[in-house]
Amino acid sequence: MLGFVLLWQLGTSFGPLSGGSLPSAINAISALGALFVLPEIWVAIGQTLFIALTGLLISVVLGIPAGVLVGLSPFAYRSLKPVLDFFKVIPPIVIIPIVILVFGPTTEMGIFLVVFANFFMLVFQSAYGVRDLDTVLLDTLRCYGMTKWDEIWHARIPGALPFIAVGVRIAVAASMIVAVVAGLIGGAPSLGQQMLLYQSSGQPNQTFAIVIIFGVLGLGLARIYSRLQRKIVFWTN
């Protein structure tokens, strides 16, 4: 890690990028330090996290139960699959122009965007997980006299948890990314919007410093979720 930073510093001091607009490592990192003193930055970080986490929560609370229900009904699954397939590959950035018109550059817009990004994917993952029950287990349970309800409650839902966990992991990362997009491009009050301000007002060090903050936030969220996942889906390696 240190080696990379060194390379960066050297590259900007002597290399082809020197004298250009790419800030040197020292400048960016000291700007980072300076930024942390500013209350606006902490507010902006909070806003970004608020958009990401609220959106994540809403999409999880709506998406997973819906997905489980869809997965339990073969008819619903077959009907919805094309719709889900279509929407889950559309990056939310595509709908930003319309969403900005309707919501304005607000926090709500950001939350809506995050939910849009995650909802279809979570529904799909949950449905898929519920359907994908091991036939060996299913046969065994049926032989032992398990009813349909038993099967759903004791086997399908726990069996779907690994898939759902994967979906949530993707959603955690996506929530952060989309929150940034909402700020950067949609103008929602957040760190992304702050970054754009810095960039357009010609403050490269601060702009770069914010990039570093994004990286740290993203990594942090991912790590926290990893620990959580290991607790919930303890039987998978």
**Which one among 11, 218, 225, 228 touches other proteins, defined by CB under 8 A?**
218
**Which one among 59, 208, 209, 229 touches other proteins, defined by CB under 8 A?**
208
Q: How far is the CB of 229 from other proteins (least distance, A)?
A: 14
Task: Give the H/E segment covering residue 89.
Answer: none
Q: How far is the CB of 88 from other proteins (least distance, A)?
A: 10
Q: How many residues bind other proteins (CB under 8 A)?
A: 64
**73 DSSP assignment:** -
Q: Which residue has the tokens 């997905």?
A: 67
**Which one among 31, 115, 172, 181 touches other proteins, defined by CB under 8 A?**
181
- The sign of the dihedral angle between the CA atoms of 77, 81, 83, 84 is positive
Q: How far is the CB of 149 from other proteins (least distance, A)?
A: 11
Instruction: Confirm or reject binding of residue 222 to other proteins (CB under 8 A).
Output: yes
CA atoms within 13 A on the CB side of 45: 17
> CA–CA separation, 216 vs 35, rounded Å?
15
Ramachandran area for residue 43 (φ above 0: left; ψ -120 to 50: alpha; else beta): alpha
**Which one among 36, 97, 132, 230 touches other proteins, defined by CB under 8 A?**
97
Task: Find all residues with CB under 8 Å of 160, minimum gap 6, and list them.
Answer: 68, 71, 126, 129, 130, 132
> CA–CA separation, 203 vs 200, rounded Å?
8
Tokens linked to 70: 């869809």
Instruction: Confirm or reject binding of residue 127 to other proteins (CB under 8 A).
Output: no
**Which one among 140, 224, 226, 230 touches other proteins, defined by CB under 8 A?**
140
Applying the rule CB under 8 A, the residues between 5 and 44 that interact with other proteins are 17, 20-22
Q: How far is the CB of 19 from other proteins (least distance, A)?
A: 12
Instruction: Confirm or reject binding of residue 86 to other proteins (CB under 8 A).
Output: yes
> CA–CA separation, 151 vs 205, rounded Å?
58
Q: Give contact residues for other proteins (rule: CB under 8 A).
A: 1, 3-4, 17, 20-22, 78-83, 86, 89-91, 93-98, 100-102, 134, 136-137, 139-140, 142-146, 150, 154-155, 158, 161, 176-177, 180-181, 184-185, 192, 195-196, 199, 204, 207-208, 210-211, 214-216, 218-219, 222, 234-235
